[in-house]
A and B are shown apart, each in its own frame.
Chain A
């Protein structure tokens, strides 16, 4: 937590020069970041995932329900990959939910290798195309990550700023409440919430947001309390500006930047929690493009036929690898950011 308040101070005291982007790129922070090979690796990995998510429809062939909902037939399948057609833009930006349903190559409980099933990475048991599931699962992952981060940030902002602004018993009450939420293991709490709300991907997101906000509330509260003491705020207060205005005009804009960075670096761990719940069967319905579910198929196919112990390696390997890479990318990025933003590690 200490390093994050350091972030806030640094951001606040930075002197303006040049455009925001130039300033950011030329900043010491970024220079150090660019020199760090691990950080660059992380950035590249994350970038690769963003690209994959964006072009998902271009590198996969949609299933029949997806085609139907795009208004395409067997003869017009290629329209989905043709920028001059409406279907292309639809599937790129507002794909129907059915496009997230992983096409099945068959129903056989036995996984099929790439060659047997004529797919890129093979199929899981019951015929789900691994490649399609992983590629579209990237979209699911980002959707979960971004929405959950957004929602929990807003919750954190609300609680944190109210606590810091009012102080006194309001502050104590809210912060103790925060402590309580932090005290309960996140996965357990999310598990409870999903069960009670009903098993679905939206409820999964709600549950993870509910368990993720307390950190942001704490950080923001700390920042506000520190910024409150800074000179220009005290002078603004001396000039008779009212407190809510102060929070929104002066304090929040300064605290929020670093907080957004911290929060967005949490996408990795949030997607991980979501995948863990999905793995247990508490997320998307069966057959939805979702990494956690993809790897849960592997549980029945740990063993190969006699003499070929690793015959079904692809069922656990690919989904596992993708999840690990995704988390690794964000962790490398996060690690580097924390390192370069922390003045003490200079």
Chain B
């Protein structure tokens, strides 16, 4: 008995040691993600990666935080545009040092942008956001030979030039047509300036024509810059493991050393761990992907919840895959329309999609998941953006309508035979999971032969699987790269858009409107065209936009300088350098 008592006492003592707070020179942020996909700016295209990159690397211009559409000089000090709008000349900042000690000059900007165009990684952002402007094509490196057929070295070489020589401080960007959004796009992390000497010395692309074809579409996650970084940003990378990424202040930062010395981004899967960490002062900011978890945080001493007018610039949807790869795919059952699976073209029948749309309950998500702080989205783009059409009707829960559409699908065959498939979401995202579960619940009630499974996958696995076009239906979203409808409509619905690689989306009527909107610059005309697209979204149901919510931010009350800029990649929406801690 005495021994038990001793043991218990020991436990109490050990427990008492727990109450140590994160020191004032360290900012601890617990992220819900499993960590960055890549630290290579040309490969990264997710918020976990971008949230690191925007603090380690810098771009020519950056957002005037917290504004989403005003820009301030960063690595450039000024710029001018040629009369025809196709040459942008940037004056670079003098004496900017990389973390490695090298000094930044034009050759680094040239290398960085060209490296992105050379790799043209299909899952990166460079080709998608700038391929059109620089090279006149959205083609990416997924098919290296096809890419070479469209893109020559001369084109890449000519896109970025150093008129004052490689060590000069002037850089020219040559684009194919005027683009009013160029500055906004260039502020994105994919156009970060890499330390060219550091990269080349360590085996990354050597920057020459001789090797460029070797790097087209290269899986750069196996290369040096995946885990190593020398940028100009206020923080430099110390270590990145599965559990955490550690960065420390870069004392030679051109803008002056940041107030906080160390930053730790911990990748913590469990909400309860994150919640307790901020309550106990072990973390200074945490991700709370589910609004419901705020219940456990409201009123905690030392915890501040920014709520209210924080507009979100992201949109979640339920996506249909129009050409499912049914080989070696456990998510489509038999892969046939035989009651035990679905065929690869299952969602090409408009009645199937309309049927699904009438199984979803928008208000339920708003009430139960957003605690009433949400609104129905009529078309897949943020309501604040140009061309959003609030007057489009929305298909919502209506079992009779759903039955009518499903009975009509596949000439009546579907209703008789039934089907089964698995829909995916990223594990831990309750909003997406619940959206799918609501559909599942109503679907299975509609007809006992209809079966839908809902499965959550870890983030990277989820992206890989949907990227292989294996997932019949999935819930996923898009956070704005820049504030323009194009960034959403094209991303979701263009047959060359980012999601086309996951859904093979192809609606000629919508495509015609998208192409038309892309070809003009007049805002009123563009707005009209996007509103038309909204009407088609109702009719054809190419995609199911989920309701959106007002955002919120959970930080420690020891942090100062916190702001909310939804256009920033990071899920905490501010830069590390701007905050201090007491």
- Please tell me if A106 contacts chain B, counting CB pairs below 8 Å: yes
Residue of A nearest to B437 (CB): A107
Residues of chain A lying within 8 A (CB to CB) of residue B454: 286
Instruction: Give Cα A333 to B15, complex, Å.
Output: 38
CB distance B448 to A305 under 8 Å?
no
Taking CB atoms, residues of chain A closer than 8 Å to B293 are 109
With contact pairs A126-B437, A300-B270, A306-B301 given, residues A108 and B369 touching in the complex (Cβ less than 8 Å): yes
CB of A307 closer than 8 Å to a CB of B: yes
* Mask of B272-293 contacts with A, CB within 8 angstroms, 1/0: 1001100100000000001011
Question: Are A110 and B295 in contact, with the CB atoms below 8 A?
Answer: yes
Interface residue? A104 (CB, 8 A)? yes
Instruction: Tell me, in angstroms, the Cα distance from A68 to B446 when the chains sit together.
Output: 10
A106: contacting residue among B276, B330, B368, B444, CB under 8 A: B368
- Complex contact B275–A303 (CB within 8 A): yes
| B434 with A126: CB separation less than 8 A | yes
Q: Which of B297, B301, B369, B441 contacts A104 (CB 8 A)?
A: B441
Counting CB contacts under 8 A, is B221 at the interface?
no
Query: Interface digits, A80-115 against B, CB 8 Å rule (1 contact, 0 not)?
Result: 000000000000000000100000101111100000
- Which residue from B276, B295, B438, B444 sits with its C-beta under 8 Å from A305? B295
The verdict on B271 contacting chain A, using a C-beta distance below 8 Å, is yes
Query: Is B137 in the interface zone, CB < 8 Å from A?
Result: no
> For residue A104, which residues in chain B have a CB less than 8 angstroms away from its CB?
441
Q: Nearest Cβ distance between residue A191 and chain B, in whole angstroms? A: 17
A301 CB–B CB distance under 8 Å: yes
Residues of B within 8 A of A339 (CB): none
Are A305 and B296 touching (Cβ within 8 A)? yes
Which chain A residues (287-331) contact chain B, with CB distance < 8 Å? Answer: 287, 299-307
**Interface pair B300/A306, CB less than 8 Å apart:** yes
**B157 CB, nearest partner CB in chain A, Å:** 50
**Nearest residue in B to A298 (C-beta to C-beta)?**
B272
Select from chain B the residue with minimum beta-carbon distance to A64.
Answer: B445
Q: Do A108 and B368 have beta carbons less than 8 Å apart? A: yes
Given contact pairs A65-B445, A300-B270, A306-B301, A107 touches B438 in the complex (Cβ within 8 A): yes
Assign chain B's interface to a size class.
Answer: 20 to 34
Among B297, B330, B445, which residue has its beta carbon within 8 angstroms of that of A306? B297
Query: Is the CB–CB distance between B368 and A107 below 8 Å?
Result: yes
Tell me, rounded to whole Å, the shortest Cβ–Cβ distance linking A78 to chain B.
Answer: 21
A residues less than 8 Å from B437 (CB atoms)? 107, 126, 286-287
The answer to the question of A244 belonging to the interface, with a C-beta cut-off of 8 Å to chain B, is no
Q: Are B369 and A303 in contact (CB under 8 A)?
A: no
Q: Are B292 and A109 in contact (CB under 8 A)?
A: yes
CA distance A299 to B293 in the complex (A): 13
Report Cα–Cα, A305/B300, bound state, in Å.
8
A residues in contact with B270, CB < 8 Å: 299-300
Q: Is A342 an interface residue (CB 8 A)?
A: no
What residue in chain B is nearest A304 (Cβ atoms)? B296
Asked if B299 and A307 sit within 8 Å, CB to CB, the answer is yes
CB of A335 within 8 Å of the partner chain? no
* Closest partner residue, chain B, to A67 (CB atom): B445
A108 to B293, CA, bound (A): 11
B74 an interface residue at 8 Å Cβ cutoff?
A: no
- Given known pairs A65-B444, A98-B448, the reply for A303 and B272 (CB within 8 Å) is yes
Smallest CB gap from A104: residue in B: B441
Question: Cβ of A171 < 8 Å from any Cβ of B?
Answer: no
Shortest beta-carbon distance, B185 to chain A, in Å? 36
A69-B448 CB under 8 A given contacts A107-B437, A109-B292, A110-B292: yes
The distance from the CB of B557 to the nearest CB of chain A, in whole angstroms, is: 13
B368 cross-chain contacts in A, Cβ below 8 A: 106-109, 127
Q: How far is the CB of B529 from chain A (nearest CB, A)?
A: 36
Nearest Cβ in chain B — how far from A312, in angstroms?
Answer: 9
Q: At the interface, yes or no: B487 with Cβ under 8 Å from chain A?
A: no
List residues of chain A with CB within 8 A of the CB of B300: 306
CB-nearest residue of chain B to A301: B272
How far, in angstroms, from A139 to B420 measured CA to CA in the complex?
26
B430 at the interface (CB under 8 A from A): yes
A312's closest neighbor in chain B, by CB? Answer: B296
Q: Residue of A at shortest CB range from B301?
A: A306
Instruction: Verify if A343 is at the interface (C-beta below 8 Å from B).
Output: no
Within B451-465, the residues touching A (CB, 8 Å) are: 453-454
| B297 (CB) vs chain A CBs: closest residue | A306
**A287 to chain B: which residues have CB within 8 Å?**
437
Contact B298 A306 (CB under 8 A): yes
User: Chain B residue with minimal CB distance to A101?
Assistant: B444
Set of chain B residues within 8 Å of A98, measured between Cβ atoms: 444, 448
Q: Which residues of B contact A110 (CB under 8 A)?
A: 292, 295
A37 partner residues in chain B, CB cutoff 8 A = none
Q: How far, in angstroms, from A104 to B270 measured CA to CA in the complex?
A: 24
Q: How far is the CA of A294 from the CA of B290 in the complex (A)?
A: 20
A285 CB–B CB distance under 8 Å:
yes
Q: CA A106 – CA B276 in complex, angstroms?
A: 26
Answer yes or no: A253 CB below 8 A from chain B CBs: no
Residues of B within 8 A of A68 (CB): 445, 448
Query: Do residues B296 and A109 form an inter-chain contact, with CB atoms below 8 A?
Result: no
Interface flag for B364 (CB, 8 Å)? yes
A198 interface residue (CB < 8 Å to B): yes
- B430 near A126 with CB under 8 A, answer yes
Report the bound CA distance from A302 to B330 in whole Å. Answer: 33
User: A97–B445 Cα gap in the complex (Å)?
Assistant: 13
B8 to A: closest C-beta gap in Å: 20
Say whether B296 contacts A107, CB under 8 Å. no
- In the bound complex, CA of A345 to CA of B298 (Å): 59
Task: Look across to chain B and name the residue whose beta carbon is closest to the beta carbon of A300.
Answer: B271
Q: Which residues 139-176 of B sit at the A interface, judged by CB distance below 8 A?
A: none
Given A68-B445, A300-B271, A307-B299; A107-B369 close (CB under 8 Å):
yes
Instruction: Report the 10 A-B pairs with minimum CB-CB distance, sorted nearest first.
Output: A109-B292, A108-B368, A306-B300, A302-B272, A107-B368, A109-B430, A306-B299, A110-B292, A303-B272, A107-B434
What are 5 sample pairs from A and B whose C-beta atoms fall under 8 A apart?
A65-B448, A69-B448, A107-B438, A198-B330, A306-B298
Q: Which residues of A contact B (CB under 8 A)?
A: 64-65, 68-69, 98, 104, 106-110, 125-127, 198, 285-287, 299-307
B-to-A contact residues, CB < 8 Å: 270-272, 275-276, 279, 290, 292-293, 295-301, 330, 364-365, 368-369, 430, 434, 437-438, 441, 444-445, 448, 453-454
Query: 12 more A-B contacts (CB under 8 A) besides A64-B445, A109-B290?
Result: A65-B448, A68-B445, A104-B441, A107-B365, A110-B292, A127-B368, A198-B330, A286-B437, A299-B270, A300-B271, A303-B275, A306-B297
